Structure 1
Amino acid sequence: MPIPTPHINGIGAATPDHDIHHAFIGWAAEQLSDPRERGVFARMAERAGIDHRWSVLPRGADGGSPINPGGFYARGMPPTSARMQLYANAAPRLAVQAVANLPEPPDPADVTHLVVASCTGFTAPGLDQLIARELGLDGSIERTLVGFMGCYGAVTALRNAYHIVRSEPGARVLVISAELSTLHLQPDDTLEPLLAMLLFGDGAAAAVVSAEPEGLAMDRQFAATLPESEELIQWHVGDTGFAMHLSGEVPGRIGEALASPEFRSAVCNGTSPDAVDSWAVHGGGRSILDAVEKGLGIAPDALAISRAILREKGNMSSATLMFALERVLQGRPVEQGVAIAFGPGLAAEGFGYRSA
């Protein structure tokens, strides 16, 4: 019996309706006492390629941002426990909204496996169980929770679905990525951490993966960890939420890796980047996308989808790549596509795809 080809049949995406991007810029500027640093931050915010970032955090008493009176951060930095309580309530709701936004939401009785990726919260029962209950999935469904892997978590979740379908041709896998990055605002008065926080927003995406030949066929999987890079991206659980460390060296290291013939060959399946007619790249930031474009030597418009997602939503950690793949599904047919994301390690994870 031939091994079936897994397909991403459809993707649904959801973001909250509270835009916190410009409120954060104002707050962050106030944290910097050095006028020169405030000027640098203002220039970087202007060049970030981000217009909006959305948050599950409720508006303040006056309808304003989470840092205004009555907002979540109005009285200082809440403890991790308060942030996790909000995560346990809001993450399943946003995930269920993403499932409802699928072009054809699956009948709960038809779903055989659930794979959930998230790195912005912890709860037990796990997010997978909370989502399964909200969706009315059978209690016997096989569940996998991909946790704390960062921005390439969706690749890992989709890879799990890929292998499930290859081993069980009748499987119908629901893959969900749900990230609430705005729960983790940190008290800081230094430039680099504030620039890292400038990037992140909330979002969730859901995909159905099966052997049914509709949507995007998934093929080769690839992964690589850059040597001596483990200090570049870190995500620490602290007393006031999760603290992100994102080194300014990350774009350069990614660009160097992609310029390497060996790594470039792995990404492009042994062909030239020019042979790839569709790119779904995790929009980790404008400088990340610039580094990918330069490292691969691809045309300026090759990453148009990823830049649009970054502009409209910011970096939603693992969910970002699935937002890009949703746009790919809505566009022209693909002969040879590449999905790739970067995260802690410093690691790159991805897979090839083509239209069914």
Structure 2
Amino acid sequence: MSRTIASNAPRINAIATAVPECDVHTRYTEWAASQLDDERKAKLFRRMESRGGISHRYSVLSGKDAALDFGSFYMREEEPGTRARMERYAAHAPDLAMQAIAGLPSTEGVTHLVVASCTGFLAPGLDQIIARRLGLAAGVERVSIGFMGCYAGVTLLRTAAHIVRSDPSARVLAVAVELCSLHLQQSQDIQSLLAMGQFADGAAAVLLSADGEGLALGQGLSLALEESGDLITWTIGNSGFVMHLSGEVPGKLGEALDDPAVQETILGENPPTTWAVHPGGRSVLDAVERGLALPPDALDASRGVLDEFGNMSSATVLFVLDRLAPEKPASGIALAFGPGLAMEGVRFGWIGSDA
């Protein structure tokens, strides 16, 4: 398949993003440190967390719940169960999704709706709830992408693009919404606390079609590393969804990206000039930069999103694209990483309205 993006390629006409009001990053640090059984470990955690490249993270929790005060959602004798967490998801996920959609110019004429989320389940699903709240026609086609993790944002875009390729008259609304803060776990493991300290809540909405100007989407790519299935896992337990993020991930990722065959797949004969890399953490971005020998400023947009919002799972790469779109990049690639360890990507490039 050619790496050139065709003039009639599906394109992102608009992107809008949203986060909740409550910034919980500083309070989380103290709560997490209080889980550790001695001050030496607590000091080590605080030092390591301060180097994570994150200043702010937002949560749908509010008031005493967000402050992690005694008697609040997470500060009880027993951790909240999965049912309690899913009740919060059902109450807040649709609202945050609608907040992001409200930032789009218009949803008039939408023919297809694609929704990605891995932090909650409900039925009728988010796709039906969003369609009803928007007053979309009953015949609008819907797709839900669930539990894929952080790279679902790329899968969301590729799915929407496939719809437009099969039906050039389609107007696709694609939405990613994640409430990662509903899955905090009590732990005395520093690595687990650091991993939880990266995640946050956020939503992004995208309009795609076959006409108008925007970021045109081209060839997709997928890569699953051999013998890496235990590096990133996302398990449903009795007290929410438990994330395991191995400290080996950055090293394994850097090694994989340094492989000439992998570099050929990603870079090709004409390497992209713009990089929309999912900020799965500072060390992950460092590994991508090192593995692909990128210039020091190549991942500035990703690092900026990480600093201002943290890792919002599938929605995060869309925040990065939103930051890059005003630059009208001629050629780029979006990459995201998740359970597996696996990578999903899609090529993009700006296309004018007269294309």
Tell me the TM-score range normalised by the shorter chain: over 0.9
Matches within 5 A, 1:187-266: 187-266=186-265
The aligned counterpart of 1:33 is: 37
Which amino acid is the alignment partner of residue 289 of structure 1?
L
Secondary structure class of the residue paired with 1:311: helix
The equivalent position to 2:99 in structure 1, one of 97, 100, 106, is 97
Matches within 5 A, 1:274-289: 275-289=271-285
Deviation at 1:213, TM superposition (A): 3.3
Deviation at 1:70, TM superposition (A): 5.2
- Is residue 58 of structure 2 the alignment partner of residue 54 of structure 1? yes
The aligned counterpart of 2:75 is: 74
Whether the aligned pair in 1 keeps the contact of 2:113 and 2:174 (CA below 8 Å) is yes
Whether the aligned pair in 2 keeps the contact of 1:115 and 1:145 (CA below 8 Å) is yes
Q: Deviations over 1:197-239 (max 9, x none)?
A: 0100000000001101311011111000000000000001111
- Is residue 26 of structure 2 the alignment partner of residue 22 of structure 1? yes
Whether the aligned pair in 2 keeps the contact of 1:199 and 1:285 (CA below 8 Å) is yes
Please give the alpha-carbon distance, in whole angstroms, between the structure 2 residues aligned to 1:51 and 1:317.
17
Please give the alpha-carbon distance, in whole angstroms, between the structure 1 residues aligned to 2:208 and 2:179.
24
Matches within 5 A, 1:288-307: 288-307=284-303
The equivalent position to 1:328 in structure 2, one of 297, 313, 324, is 324
The aligned counterpart of 1:106 is: 107
Structure 1 window deviating more from structure 2 (123-132 vs 14-23): it is 123-132
Which amino acid is the alignment partner of residue 245 of structure 1?
H
Which amino acid is the alignment partner of residue 142 of structure 1?
E
Matches within 5 A, 1:311-326: 311-326=307-322
Structure 1 window deviating more from structure 2 (184-193 vs 11-20): it is 184-193
Whether the aligned pair in 2 keeps the contact of 1:16 and 1:54 (CA below 8 Å) is yes
Whether the aligned pair in 2 keeps the contact of 1:66 and 1:73 (CA below 8 Å) is no
Please give the alpha-carbon distance, in whole angstroms, between the structure 2 residues aligned to 1:44 and 1:245.
18
Matches within 5 A, 1:130-145: 130-145=129-144
Which amino acid is the alignment partner of residue 300 of structure 2?
A
TM-score (norm: length of structure 1) = 0.94
Moved over 4 A (4+): none
Deviation at 1:71, TM superposition (A): 3.0
Whether the aligned pair in 1 keeps the contact of 2:15 and 2:206 (CA below 8 Å) is yes
The equivalent position to 1:347 in structure 2, one of 342, 347, 355, is 342
Whether the aligned pair in 2 keeps the contact of 1:268 and 1:338 (CA below 8 Å) is no
The aligned counterpart of 1:87 is: 89
TM-score (norm: length of structure 2) = 0.94
Deviation at 1:342, TM superposition (A): 0.1
Structure 1 window deviating more from structure 2 (72-81 vs 237-246): it is 72-81
- Compared with structure 1, are the counterparts of its residues 168 and 3 closer, same or farther at alpha carbon in structure 2 (3 Å cutoff)? farther
Structure 1 window deviating more from structure 2 (148-157 vs 65-74): it is 65-74
Please give the alpha-carbon distance, in whole angstroms, between the structure 2 residues aligned to 1:185 and 1:234.
15
Deviation at 1:3, TM superposition (A): 9.1
The aligned counterpart of 1:8 is: 12
Alignment identity in percent? Answer: 52
- Compared with structure 1, are the counterparts of its residues 3 and 280 closer, same or farther at alpha carbon in structure 2 (3 Å cutoff)? closer
Please give the alpha-carbon distance, in whole angstroms, between the structure 2 residues aligned to 1:247 and 1:223.
21
Deviation at 1:4, TM superposition (A): 3.5
The aligned counterpart of 2:3 is: none
Which amino acid is the alignment partner of residue 283 of structure 2?
S
| Structure 1 unaligned regions, length at least 5 | none
| Structure 2 unaligned regions, length at least 5 | 1-5
RMSD: 1.4
Please give the alpha-carbon distance, in whole angstroms, between the structure 2 residues aligned to 1:38 and 1:241.
25
Whether the aligned pair in 1 keeps the contact of 2:33 and 2:42 (CA below 8 Å) is yes
Secondary structure class of the residue paired with 2:268: coil
Whether the aligned pair in 1 keeps the contact of 2:8 and 2:211 (CA below 8 Å) is no
The aligned counterpart of 2:157 is: 158
Whether the aligned pair in 1 keeps the contact of 2:57 and 2:201 (CA below 8 Å) is yes
Whether the aligned pair in 1 keeps the contact of 2:215 and 2:328 (CA below 8 Å) is no
Deviation at 1:40, TM superposition (A): 2.0
Whether the aligned pair in 2 keeps the contact of 1:282 and 1:320 (CA below 8 Å) is yes
Q: Deviations over 1:124-152 (max 9, x none)?
A: 11111111111111121110000000000
